[in-house]
Every structure is written in structure tokens, then in C-alpha cells.
């Protein structure tokens, strides 16, 4: 399996499956077959590919292909590993960030190489977007020679690689959720504050999205402390006090504002000790006698 696989099969025709299939084909790999619980989804994905990729059921994909990617929900991986007809010289790779290779143990027991390739990227469209792999990092795990093959495939897709052997997968995946899903949560909170200010909700996305993109670009280009702007970076306690007063009637938003501000205080922002202490006083929760954080 250290050579370029002759035939790749994809089980799962959702958003990740679509982009991975198109990206693999664009990198010169032969995507031989697609399977999905919904045959229409598999057919729609095959229509995006060139050549003679076939729509098959999962069992037929396992019989026909040398390397299988399981782009299915985490809860379905182990049942597929248990139920598919494996054969020698084969490898199966899941694309989950949250679980290790133990879920593929039934395949490993049948002599199949097992691995993981997890793209640190969001895939919002069912239309394949191979460019979403360019410049990202993929988490890779697998015994040799499969591990090296997956590293090579990731780089052919335009991605960098981080190896996941020995990594706490739940914490790794939590980091990815903070960096992706919870960015959307921040957009929701920002829109709530926007509307509470008396501004039209339909304008929030167009007004705030460029601000969020600019912040993300700062994080990508600079050290984290240098990327930060705004009142915490300036040590502007008066502005923070005004924000907290304005949010006083919205306890959930106020608590979120404080919690995120307190996280920023982990950075070395170069504030004088008395200024840093004032920011902590405003933003860090105080433990009450009942053991719960209060303000």
C-alpha cells in the first residue's frame, strides 16, 4: 500500500465525501466507486467526477477497491468495519477527528491496514470543492506503509500534515470545534448584540462578516497576541465597563462576553500590573460560597 492505490472507494457521499472525491481525482487518483445510504446522493457525486466512477453499495465498494475512505458519521464507522467483506492488501481510512483507530479494529483483525485522514477544514457544500484542501492541515494516523501514503495523499491535495499517533483525540477535536463551529456561535452572539443595539438583523452578516474575516486573517498571519485588537488589547477598562453595563439585561451574552474576555487575558498583552488586575476584576468570574461563578 506504499504505492499509489489502483482503485479508491468512497463510502459516504455527503459534504466531506464530495470534496474529498473531487480533490482526489484532481490530484490524479482513480476514484473507482462511491457508495451512500442514499443512492441519489451517490449518483449526484459521481456526476461531478470525470471518467467511469461507479455507484455501488458499500459491500461492492469494499470488494472492488484497494483503499477505502469512510466519510460517514462517527457512529457508523465501527459498524461498517464489522460488516464489510475485507480482503488482503487492502486499507481502510476514516475521516473522523474525534475517534482513534480502535473503531476500525474489526477490519484490522481481518488483516486490513487502518488509518485516519482528518482535514482541519469545514465543508459546507455538497458540491465538491477541492480548493478547500489547499493550505490546510490534515491529521494523519496509520501504521507504515499506510501512514506515509496518507501523508503523501494529503500533500498532493495541497495540505500540510500533523501526525495523530498518541494524541488525545477528544481534545484535538475540541480544538477544531473551537476554531470552526464556535466561530459560527460567535457570529450568532454578535448578531444578537447587533439587534439589541437597535440595528436591522438582516444587515448583521454583511456588516460583521468582514470584521470576522479580518480577525481570522490576523490570526493566520501574526502571533496571537499581535493579532488581537480592541479594548482588551488596549487595556481599555472603561469601554469594557460600558459593554458590560449595556449587556446587564442579557445574562447569557454578558457571561459569554466575560468568559471570552477572560480567555484573552491568557495572552501576554504587555499591560502594567494594575491595568491587568483591573481587566481580571472585570472579566474573570468570582467564585461564590456555593461554588458557582457569580458576578
**Residue 128 confidence (pLDDT):** 94
Q: Look at strands 137-142 and 67-70 and give their pairing.
A: unpaired
Instruction: Judge whether 172 lies within some domain.
Output: no
Distance CA 126, CA 103 (A): 26
**Residue 114 confidence (pLDDT):** 98
pLDDT exceeds cutoff 50 at 289: no
pLDDT exceeds cutoff 80 at 288: no
pLDDT exceeds cutoff 80 at 147: yes
Give the residue from 132, 167, 202 where a domain finishes. 167
- Residues 75, 35 share a domain: yes
pLDDT exceeds cutoff 70 at 87: yes
Instruction: Judge whether 3 lies within some domain.
Output: no
| Total domains present in the chain | 2
pLDDT exceeds cutoff 60 at 295: no
- Residues 18, 115 share a domain: yes
- Residues 134, 110 share a domain: yes
- Residues 259, 187 share a domain: yes
Q: In this predicted structure, which of 100-114, 245-259, 278-292 has the lowest mean pLDDT?
A: 278-292
pLDDT exceeds cutoff 50 at 231: yes
**Residue 287 confidence (pLDDT):** 56
CATH code of the domain covering residue 284: 1.10.1040
- Whole-model pTM: value is 0.89
Distance CA 275, CA 269 (A): 11
pLDDT exceeds cutoff 60 at 105: yes
Number of H helices, E strands in the chain: 14, 10
- Residues 201, 144 share a domain: no
Instruction: Judge whether 125 lies within some domain.
Output: yes
- Residues 141, 236 share a domain: no
- Residues 191, 110 share a domain: no
pLDDT exceeds cutoff 80 at 36: yes
Give the residue from 118, 138, 167 where a domain finishes. 167
Give the residue from 112, 145, 167 where a domain finishes. 167
Instruction: Judge whether 2 lies within some domain.
Output: no
Give the pLDDT confidence of 12-25 residue by residue, as tens digits. 999 999 999 999 99
Instruction: Judge whether 27 lies within some domain.
Output: yes
Instruction: Judge whether 173 lies within some domain.
Output: no
Give the pLDDT confidence of 187-227 residue by residue, as tens digits. 999 999 999 999 999 999 999 999 999 999 999 999 999 99
pLDDT exceeds cutoff 60 at 1: no
Q: How far is CA 68 from CA 57, 108, 262, 263, in A?
A: 13, 13, 44, 41
**Residue 285 confidence (pLDDT):** 76
- Residues 139, 66 share a domain: yes
- Residues 241, 163 share a domain: no
- Among 138, 120, 133, residue whose Cα is nearest residue 179: 120
- Residues 134, 214 share a domain: no
Give the domain extent around 41. Answer: 8-167
pLDDT exceeds cutoff 70 at 78: yes
Instruction: Judge whether 187 lies within some domain.
Output: yes
289 vs 231, more confident: 231
Q: State what percent of residues in the chain have pLDDT above 90.
A: 92
Instruction: Judge whether 128 lies within some domain.
Output: yes
Distance CA 181, CA 97 (A): 14
Instruction: Give me the mean pLDDT over the 265-293 stretch.
Output: 82
- Residues 18, 161 share a domain: yes
Three-state DSSP class for residue 94? strand
Distance CA 195, CA 205 (A): 11
**Residue 192 confidence (pLDDT):** 97
Give the pLDDT confidence of 42-67 residue by residue, as tens digits. 999 999 999 899 999 999 999 999 99
- Residues 205, 276 share a domain: yes
**Residue 88 confidence (pLDDT):** 84
Q: How confident is the model at residue 291 (pLDDT cuts 50, 70, 90)?
A: very low
Q: How confident is the model at residue 113 (pLDDT cuts 50, 70, 90)?
A: very high
Instruction: Give me the mean pLDDT over the 132-141 stretch.
Output: 98
Q: What is the mean pLDDT of the chain?
A: 94
CATH code of the domain covering residue 103: 3.40.50.720
Amino acid at each position: 500500500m506504499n504505492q499509489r492505490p489502483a482503485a479508491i472507494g468512497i463510502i459516504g457521499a455527503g459534504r466531506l465525501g464530495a470534496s474529498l472525491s473531487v480533490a482526489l481525482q484532481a490530484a490524479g487518483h482513480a476514484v473507482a466507486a462511491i457508495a451512500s445510504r442514499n443512492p441519489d446522493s451517490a449518483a449526484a457525486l459521481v456526476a461531478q467526477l470525470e471518467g467511469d466512477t461507479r455507484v455501488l453499495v458499500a459491500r461492492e465498494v469494499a470488494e472492488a477497491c484497494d483503499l477505502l475512505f469512510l466519510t460517514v458519521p462517527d457512529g457508523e464507522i465501527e459498524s461498517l468495519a464489522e460488516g464489510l467483506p475485507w480482503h488482503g492488501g487492502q486499507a481502510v481510512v476514516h475521516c473522523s477527528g474525534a475517534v482513534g483507530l480502535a473503531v476500525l479494529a474489526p477490519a484490522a483483525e481481518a488483516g486490513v491496514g487502518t488509518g485516519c485522514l482528518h482535514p482541519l477544514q469545514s465543508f459546507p457544500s455538497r458540491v465538491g470543492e477541492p480548493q478547500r484542501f489547499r493550505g490546510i492541515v490534515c491529521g494523519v494516523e496509520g501504521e507504515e506503509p499506510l501512514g506515509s501514503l496518507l501523508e503523501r495523499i494529503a500533500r498532493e491535495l495541497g495540505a500540510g500534515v500533523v501526525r495523530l499517533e498518541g494524541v488525545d483525540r477528544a481534545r484535538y477535536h475540541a480544538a477544531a470545534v473551537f476554531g470552526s463551529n464556535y466561530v459560527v456561535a460567535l457570529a450568532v452572539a454578535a448578531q444578537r448584540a447587533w439587534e439589541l443595539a437597535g440595528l436591522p438583523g438582516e444587515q448583521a452578516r454583511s456588516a460583521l462578516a468582514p470584521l470576522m474575516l479580518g480577525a481570522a486573517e490576523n490570526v493566520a498571519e501574526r502571533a496571537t497576541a499581535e493579532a488581537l485588537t480592541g479594548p482588551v488589547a488596549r487595556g481599555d477598562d472603561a469601554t469594557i465597563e460600558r459593554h458590560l453595563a449595556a449587556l446587564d439585561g442579557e445574562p447569557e451574552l454578558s457571561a459569554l462576553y466575560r468568559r471570552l474576555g477572560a480567555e484573552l487575558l491568557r495572552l501576554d498583552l504587555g499591560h502594567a500590573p494594575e491595568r491587568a488586575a483591573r481587566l481580571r476584576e472585570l472579566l474573570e468570574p468570582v467564585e461564590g460560597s456555593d461554588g458557582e461563578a457569580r458576578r
